[in-house]
Every structure is written in C-alpha cells, then in structure tokens.
Amino acid sequence: MTSKRIMLMIAVAMLLIASTTIPALALLPNGQQAPNFQLNDLSGNSHKLSDYRGKVVVIDFFGWACDYCISDAKNSLVPLYNTYKNDPNVQFISVEINSGTPSQIQGYLSQTGVSWLVLGGGSSVGSTYQIASTPTLYVINPAGNIALSSTYPTNVQTLKSTIDALEGKPVHLFVQGTDNALWSKYYQSGAGWSGWQSLGGKLTSSPAATSPTSGVIDVFVRGSDGAIWKRTTTNGGSSWSAWSGIGGQLASGTGPAVCSQGSRLDVFAQGTDGALWDKSYAGTSWSGWQGLSGSLTSSPAATSPGINLIDVFARGSDGAVWYKAWDGTAWSGWHSPGGQLASGTGPAVSS
C-alpha cells in the first residue's frame, strides 16, 4: 500500500513539473510578412498596421504595469524616438497586451514620457506575434516584413542601425578642398555618388560632422581666426544654414571632434594650452567651454557608444593614445590603452 502511494505521488509530481516547463514560443522570424492587425488608440480611433506600409515601423509590445517596460521605454525608447520624431519615414507604435484600461495606460505614458501612437486591447495581437514576455520589440521594413525582433533589454545601437539601414539613408562626405572651402558629396544606395557641392568657408582644419537627429547634420571646422565654425542642414543636405561661430581657440594644425546622442551634441578641441576642451549643445543653447585637462599632441576623436556615454581619444605627449569617458554624470580621469602614433597624426574612433 505504501509503495503504491509513493508511486502515485511521484506520478503527480512529474505531471506538475511537466506543466511548468512548457518552452517559450519563438518570436516570428525575420523575413516573414508581419501579421496585420487593427486596434484603437486611447481616443477610440482605429489604426491598422497596413496603414503604415512604406515606412519603417517599430512596434513595442508592453504591459501597463510592467516595471521592465517602464524602465526600457523611459531610458531607451524615448531618447531613441526623439531622433526620429520628425522623420516621416519612421513610425513608432506601442501595443498594450495586458488588458490595461485607458486610464491605466495613460498612467504608464505619464511615467515613461511616451508620446507616439499607443494602441490598447492588444492581447490577441500579442499572441499572434508570439510574445512571451514584455517588453518585446519588432521592426517592420517598408515592405511589411519583419526585419528585427528583440526582448528586454533593448539594444539601442542595434535598433538604431536597423532603422537607418532600412531607411536607406545617404552617407554624407565632407572634406577641406584645395581652395580651403568645405566641400560635400553623398552616396545614396541604388543611385551612387552625387556630384561635389561647395559649402564655402575658409577652413584651417579637416571638418568633423555628426547627425544628432534624422535629416539633421552639423559640420564643424577650424576657421582662419582659430575658432570653431559650423554649418547645419535640417533637411538632409537640400539646404544649409549660414556659417556661425561657436568660439574657442584651437591649437594650430588641429581640428575639432564632435559626437551626438539624441538632441545633445558635444564638440571637442585641443586648446592653445594643449588641453582638451569641450562645449555642448542640449537642444536650445550652447554651454560655455569646459576644460578637461590633458596634454594633447593631436586633434581629438570622439564617439558616443550609448545614451549619456561619451569616449574621447587623443595622442598624448608620450606618443601614446589617451582617453577619458563621460558616464552621464562626470568625466573620468585620463587612461591610456598604449600604442605609439606617428608624429603629427591622431586617432580615429567609432562605436
């Protein structure tokens, strides 16, 4: 009798284990046609996924009470969205799949700062897209096919590079011509290189360029007065602003470096004292110049590997590469990964 009871208990235990180890569904594969759906926004207006055919669509499946969703939207998606909010070729959509009421979803929006299209009542859509956890992201290409799927945490760099690649954005090239003016040409996939366009100016350094938001390009140079000058386009190069100076005095033979993260950009230069100097623009106005110390013997190079992160590199007085980093709050000290650079040259960096 006792052995039968033990066998029965073992059988029940095995059934319980089996019932809790169901494997998670795999996300829909890249290349598959994205299933169409129709849902209402918080005002009761109906939207279909197919309404946005021809655009790159980023779909964020979330739950209104999901802490990971709140953190990911606030710290990753919102800053990324700000770089595309004026881009007519990119559409962000958030779909709530945990039966949240309009007031509950509105509370989520207040916590995260999400300002793009939000749709409710998406539990069945979540099942169709095989969502096993939130947040989960899908990127749909202009033809309506799945190009990327990912789960928490969002890799912002991968997401951005995917969006940009699907948009087919042109690559812009800038040089100092033999007449010392700024010259530009661009490469468009499927169309090849454009002709050269003169943007004028009297350069005394190589240019540095960045694109802080979609369609916007800022180009910086050292002028004949030793200060930094810039030109800006807000429409992908169709037209340019006049030259404007942002001050500073760069060491002779050096040029600026620039990097951007969202609407903020930072310009770096070797000052006449040999130190690294930084000036930032946060979307409304320029800061003053900030000295970051060091003993540079080259122009700096800078990159932003993530939100609120900056790394700046330069050749030091010992001929090695030196760098310092910004973590969103403060700058680190100087560190060296070693190396020996040829005299008169500087490093390049990308992330």
* Any domain includes 130: yes
Please give the Cα distance from 226 to 49 (Å, whole number).
53
Same domain, 149 and 196: no
Split at pLDDT 50, 70, 90, the class of 4 is low
- Same domain, residue pair 161 and 176: no
Regarding whether 143 and 266 lie in a shared domain, the answer is: no
Q: What range defines the domain where residue 54 resides?
A: 19-167
Residues 212, 136 share a domain: no
254 and 268 assigned to the same domain: yes
Distance between CA atoms of residues 88 and 158, nearest Å: 21
In the predicted model, what is the mean pLDDT of the chain?
90
Say if residue 159 is in the same domain as residue 302. no
d(CA 72, CA 63): 12
Number of structural domains the chain divides into: 2
Whether residue 270 is found in the same domain as residue 137: no
Distance (Å, whole) CA 114 – CA 111: 8
Q: Within a domain: residue 351?
A: no
Range with the poorest average pLDDT among 31-35, 160-164, 171-175, 265-269: 160-164
Residue 8 lies in a domain: no
- Do 160 and 177 lie in one domain? The reply is no
Residue 203 is part of a domain; what is its CATH number?
A: 2.120.10.70
Q: What is the mean pLDDT of residues 11-33?
A: 60
Q: Is residue 10 part of a domain?
A: no
pLDDT in tens, 80-98: 999 898 888 899 999 999 9
Q: How confident is the model at residue 300 (pLDDT cuts 50, 70, 90)?
A: very high
Look up the CATH number of the domain holding residue 46.
3.40.30.10
- The answer, yes or no, to whether residue 249 has pLDDT greater than 90, is yes
Does residue 242 form part of some domain? yes
Residue where one domain finishes, among candidates 167, 189, 207: 167
CA distance 137 to 124: 16
| 282, part of any domain | yes
Q: What pTM value is reported for the model? A: 0.62
Same domain for 271 and 160:
no
pLDDT of amino acid 138? 97
Q: Do residue 240 and residue 317 come from a single domain?
A: yes
* Domain-terminating residue out of 109, 143, 167: 167
Examine the domain organization and report whether 310 and 223 are in the same domain.
yes
Higher confidence at residue 166 or residue 266? 266
pLDDT, tens digit, for every residue of 45-66? 999 999 998 899 999 999 999 9
Do 313 and 296 have their domain in common?
A: yes
